[in-house]
Amino acid sequence: MTEPTAESYASDETIDPGDEMLPKLEIQTSDQLTVYNSQSEIKSPLEMFQNIANDFWSGRELGWRLFLRNLRGLYRQTFLGLFWAFLPPIANTAIWVFLRHQGVFKLGGNVEIPLTVYILTGMILWQTFIEAFQMPLKVINQNRGMIAKLRFPRESLLLVGLGEVLFDFAIRSLLLIPAFLWYQVVPEPQMLWALPIAFLMILFASGLGMLIMPVGSLYQDISRFIGIATPFWMLTTPIIYPITAKMLQADPNTKLLVWLNPAAPLIVLGRDLTLFGESAFVTPGLIVAAVSIPIFLIGLAVFRISIPVIVERMNAY
């Protein structure tokens, strides 16, 4: 019988998922001894976050191997290869620009730059947000066999997921270069502020995703509901139509909708800073940016505490 290791999963070696006699292996990359007991880590928050940081560090090598494996597998046996990373925002932008020009929808006012660049920038940020939101549940579902059979730093899976989200965001952002050149959009120096905003947006969305991950990993209803709700969520986020400060002041319902939509403040702030160097969403955007790191840390705590329960339920099925 072939003994499985986390590295064998990362190197695409096949393992029989039905073999219940596979031994539990523990990855020790340092001389530090890990002690497991029945006491919940939440009773010592500082120690818990120190353990999380240690597991992030000890799982970095495994996370890197899994990231490379997933990256190679993503474009394997595809004719277009890396172009698939560019295709979703291009296709979505083309559809909405076509519908806008045909007068199918006329939400919001006019924008001072070409509509294609406006929608493309919003689409890149929206897809990054929704991928970061779905990332925790995705990495758990994709690695169920590995989680159930092997003992390794589970935080390495978060490193893989965050790496993939950042990689896709970087690749898609390259689309803005030819778009700016073709439509002669002059970038403002303030657009550099969009990078930390985008990073905080990823942390915020990942934190929200980790909060729902425990329930979502046990019940497939959550994944199905997210799939159904995502298109409606996108339409309620001002990506394909502009919302100005005057519109927010004149329509309390629009203002309430923006405040209740966790995706809107940072996406719109990042898009406006990229294209205009200023935004009507500075206040809501900065408020959400300020809570993004606490939300991410709370999500990490939930992820850490829920993993033993999830593993137990996986082994029970």
Three-class HEC string of 95-123: HHHHHHHCCCCCCCCCCCCCHHHHHHHHH
Does the structure show a pLDDT above 80 at 52? Answer: yes
Q: Please, where are the H alpha helices in the chain?
A: 6-10, 45-58, 60-74, 83-101, 115-142, 144-149, 155-173, 176-183, 194-218, 221-236, 245-250, 252-260, 264-275, 282-316
pTM (2 decimals)? Answer: 0.82
Angle at which helix 115-142 crosses helix 176-183, to 10 degrees, equals 170
Look at residue 7 and tell me whether its pLDDT is greater than 60: no
The alpha carbon dihedral of 198, 202, 207, 209 has a sign of positive
Domain ranges of the chain: 45-315
Backbone angles phi, psi at 220, to 5 degrees: -65, -10
Q: Residue 97: its pLDDT value, please?
A: 81
pLDDT at 146: 84
Average pLDDT, the chain: 81
Which band of pLDDT confidence, cut at 50, 70 and 90, is reported for residue 6? low
User: Smallest Cα–Cα separation from 302: which of 149, 155, 145, 131?
Assistant: 155
Q: How far apart are CA 92 and CA 100, in angstroms?
A: 12
Burial class from Cβ neighbours inside 10 Å (0-12, 13-18, 19+) for residue 132 reads: buried
Of the candidates 165, 170, 172, 168, the one whose C-alpha atom is nearest the C-alpha of residue 89 is 172
pLDDT-based confidence at residue 293 (cuts at 50, 70, 90): very high
Average pLDDT for residues 239-257, to the nearest whole number?
74
CA distance 51 to 55: 6
pLDDT in tens, 84-131: 778 888 888 888 888 877 776 666 666 778 888 988 999 999 999 999
For residue 14, what pLDDT is reported? 41
What are 133-151's pLDDT values in tens digits? Answer: 999 999 998 888 888 888 8
d(CA 56, CA 60): 6
